[in-house]
Amino acid sequence: QVQLVESGGGLVQPGGSLRLSCAASGRIFSGNPMGWYRQVPGKERELVARITSDGSTNYADSVKGRFTISRDNAKNTVYLQMNSLQPEDTAVYYCNAFGYTGISVRNYWGQGTQVTVSS
């Protein structure tokens, strides 16, 4: 069983920064990337950024140049550094990873952390 625990959300003014962390317990499957998604009420959950075990990354166009994803494989932790935050970045941010349950691999989600960008 895998658990993903996010932290680091909060309220920030436009132009500010936040750093999200996601600590994973259990056996993470290294064949899939770990990532961050976000969701606002009434809309589908969308990819923000993801990173493979060897450090390859991809980002949503809306966050390129402002957000940076990184991971510490030894700690099973993934981070999202968010700079130049804008009101449209307001959302619940979810950590995502694939992990083992028994001999099977399944998709896991964290509980979500609220990010609010407002003056």
Average pLDDT over residues 96-102: 91
pLDDT for 40 beyond 90? yes
pLDDT for position 103: 87
Confidence category of residue 63, pLDDT binned at 50, 70, 90: very high
pLDDT for position 85: 98
The pLDDT tens digits of the residues spanning 4-32 come to 999 999 999 999 999 999 999 999 898 89
pLDDT for position 102: 86
What 3 state SS string does the chain have?
CCEEEEECCEEECCCCCEEEEEEEECCECCCCCEEEEEECCCCCCEEEEEECCCCCEEECHHHCCCEEEEEEHHHCEEEEEECCCCHHHCEEEEEEEEEEECCEEEEEECCCEEEEECC
Average pLDDT over residues 24-45: 94
Average pLDDT over residues 40-54: 96
Confidence category of residue 39, pLDDT binned at 50, 70, 90: very high
pLDDT for position 52: 95
